[in-house]
Amino acid sequence: MRALREMSIGSVAVYSDVDRHALHVRMADEAVAIGGAQSSESYLVAEKIIAAARATGAEAIHPGYGFLSENAAFAALCEAEDIVFIGPPSSAITMMGSKTAAREVAKRAGTPIPPGTESALSGAAEATEIARTIGYPVILKAAAGGGGKGMRRVDREEDIEGALRDATSEAERSFKSSEVYIEKFIVRPRHIEIQVLGDMHGNMIYLGERECSVQRRHQKVIEEAPSPFIERHPHLRREMGEAAVAAARAAGYWNAGTVEFLADERGAFYFLEMNTRLQVEHPVTELITGVDLVKWQLRIAAGERLSIQQEDVQLRGWAMECRLYAEDPDNNYMPSPGEITALALPAGPGIRLDSGIYQGWTVPMEYDPLLIKLAAWAETRDEVVARLIRALEETHIGGIRTNIEFFLDVLADPEFQAGDLHTGFLEAWFLRRKGHQFSDAELATARAVAELSAREGKAKTPAVTATRSKWKEVTLR
């Protein structure tokens, strides 16, 4: 909405009953009620969002980065209704939305993929045969999903049948598709993603990388750009970037998107998946490149040509982002909804806040409890860590529990400060935290809670946008 305002374009928000007083509603020029608090009654009902666009004369829809943002059927519905979907074509979402189809696209484009299957497994016998060929450990993944759901690591042949049964069942519950595929599990991998940006005229560039290895249950917690691993192996930036662009081109992609890779300790990297939307962590890329990704999303959707060439992309300094959540660190990070009774936010050089909260607002229990994306920029990684710690110490959110202290502990960790990261970093960190040895039961509970939280859905609200000639106060319909 801020980007729209700077571009003299009006905005229309949609909101559920529980979100009537949410910040995105207060910021918009108009707002349209679309149903009950449950997302299945509001934010996930494509027809209601289309109706809101029709009622307000909106020309385009920006889906945010949750709910319907990677829903090919919704993008196709926008295309059929002659409403611009601010994102890639529905065909590209379909192609890259299935992990098995995406692997096939990446392979055709020459992008490295982990050894494994390009199609869904037919059963335990096939899984066992392939696992013997590529070697253990292996990982089973839901073809239609993400976020760690429908995923199982298998270290021994005798465990593969049960793991496949569990992965298939969870995939069906989570994504209405039981398809599961298998690939080689990379030990202590780095999770590195490449931001791509392309227009409808065939121009496409990559905007450096983001390191997203600090994760809880496959959910990113801290993101940074550039990657400390890539800084040690600078040739990988160009190799990964060109591989990402090749995969996106092969999918007929345009607009903003992210190609994700896993890299091993030797520097070999493999295609993981493509996110066909704007990422939650896009601010760190904007901070080190100076490129406003959201404005370019809007311009590309309007048919403009990309004016940035690959040689124009320069990375400057270091950026890092923490996702501040309403959750209780002392209670296995359970969500902590409630009224925000006090609020003090950080300021000063190099601080960026992407926030959806204000004092007096009640954090609902129905959605993902993300409150603020707190990002910092500085000339070096050491400086940005120190700046982020300072910013966290300035932050106070009263009335609810948050994970601020958790971030302060992680940022002070010597291994984190050294950039020695991998996707299992947090599990290892929890084990050595303050000398406390967590029991298997404690770890199992923490992982189960994190998985449950990941299943609750994403509270990133779609915004309906329309061209306006002048501003007016928000009208609640």
Amino acid at 3: A
Strands 180-184 and 84-85 turn out to be unpaired
Q: Measured on CA atoms in the order 230, 235, 241, 243, is the torsion positive or negative?
A: negative
Any idea which residue has 């005798």 for tokens?
158
- The catalytic position among 152, 190, 216, 277 is 277
Bridge partners, residue 257, by sequence: 196
The token duo for 150 is: 């429908």
Any idea which residue has 């939307």 for tokens?
277
The answer to whether residues 233 and 261 touch, using CB atoms and an 8 Å cutoff, is no
Query: Residue 360 phi/psi, 5° resolution?
Result: 95, -15
- Please say if 277 is a catalytic residue: yes
Cα 279 from Cα 118, distance rounded (Å): 25
| CB atoms closer than 10 angstroms to residue 429 | 15
The token duo for 389 is: 């710690």
Cα 322 from Cα 334, distance rounded (Å): 18
Spatial CB neighbours of 232, under 8 Å, sequence gap ≥ 6: none
Any idea which residue has 């890779």 for tokens?
261
Residue 305 DSSP label: P
Sheet containing 138-142: order of strands: 152-154, 138-142, 180-184
Cα 477 from Cα 466, distance rounded (Å): 16
Is residue 226 reached through a cis peptide bond, with omega within 30 degrees of 0 on the bond before it? yes
The answer to whether residues 402 and 338 touch, using CB atoms and an 8 Å cutoff, is no
Residues annotated as part of the active site: 277
